[in-house]
Structures are given as C-alpha cells and as structure tokens.
C-alpha cells in the first residue's frame, strides 16, 4: 500500500488524518517537526508527504526546499496542509519547488485530501 509521511505539529489533525488514511489501507508515519520529518523522508521514501507551514524549528517552506534539494527526497510529491492563509506571494514560493503538488487549508475535508492523494498516485 502507498505510504504517507505527515510532517505537522498539529497532533489533533495528524491523528485524525492518520486514522482516516490507515483505515483506507495506507501506511502513515507521523512527525511533529521539520528536522525529524526530513530525516524520516530520506529513510522511508514515502509516496506522498503532507507538510504543515508553521512548525517549530524548520518551517514548511524550509522543509519543502530541503526535500527538493535532497537526492533521496526530491521526487516525493508534497501537499501543503496548513491553517495559514496561502496568499499569492506564498503560492509563488511553493510553486518554485517542483515537488509541491498542492495546498489545502485547515480545516480540510479528509475526503478532499484523499482525492488529491489518489490523483497524485495515478500519475
């Protein structure tokens, strides 16, 4: 089954999303900060990463750039899932990274997130 890595310090959202996707047959790994997320991404090589923007330590933009720069992680699609509003300037930052595959604002409907995941996995 496809593997998802969630890099998000929002434990409530992470728990709900992990339960949802595990119930759909996905393997889900959780990390709560950017540094740990980068390390796990390199080892696990998940099929998709869900990434929050506002986190302690490395923020989501820094993590996205590090993922893009890493030999082991540059091809992993990343979906930004955040409660922070994504203005056009922020969208421009994300779109500079070829592994960025979409933004969904919190609260996010898990069905919408699942549709995005399924569409990416079909490519």
Q: How far apart are CA 39 and CA 37, in angstroms?
A: 5
What's the pLDDT tens digit per position in 29-80? 999 999 999 999 999 999 999 999 888 888 888 999 999 999 999 999 999 9
Q: Name the band, by pLDDT with cuts 50, 70 and 90, for residue 90.
A: low
Give the span between the Cα atoms of 52 and 6, in whole angstroms.
Answer: 8
Task: Select the more confidently predicted residue: 42 or 100.
Answer: 42
The candidate with the shortest Cα–Cα distance to 9, out of 63, 53, 40, is 53
- pLDDT of 99 reads 86
Cis previous bond, 107, omega within 30: yes
**Residue 84 banded pLDDT, cuts 50, 70, 90:** low
Task: Give CA–CA dist 62/54, Å, rounded.
Answer: 11
Answer CATH for 3-122 from 3.40.50.720, 3.40.50.2300, 3.40.50.10880, 3.40.190.10: 3.40.50.2300
More confident residue, 89 or 97: 97
Return the pLDDT at 61.
86
Spatial distance between the Cα atoms of 1 and 16, rounded to a whole number of angstroms: 19
For tokens 């990343």, name the residue: 78
Q: Domain residues of the chain, as ranges?
A: 3-122
Mean pLDDT of 82-106: 73
Whether the CB-CB separation of 61 and 92 falls below 8 Å is answered with no
């Amino acid at each position: 089954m496809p593997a998802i890595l969630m890099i998000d310090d929002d434990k409530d959202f992470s728990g709900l999303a992990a339960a949802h996707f595990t119930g759909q047959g996905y393997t889900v790994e959780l990390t709560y900060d950017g540094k740990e997320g980068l390390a796990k991404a390199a080892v696990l090589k998940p099929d998709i990463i869900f990434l929050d923007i506002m986190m302690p330590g490395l923020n989501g933009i820094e993590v996205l750039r590090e993922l893009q720069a890493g030999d082991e992680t540059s091809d992993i699609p990343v979906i930004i899932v955040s409660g922070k509003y994504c203005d056009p300037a922020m969208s421009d930052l994300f779109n500079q990274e070829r592994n960025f595959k979409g933004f969904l604002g919190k609260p996010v409907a898990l069905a919408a997130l699942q549709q995005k995941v399924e569409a990416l996995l079909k490519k």
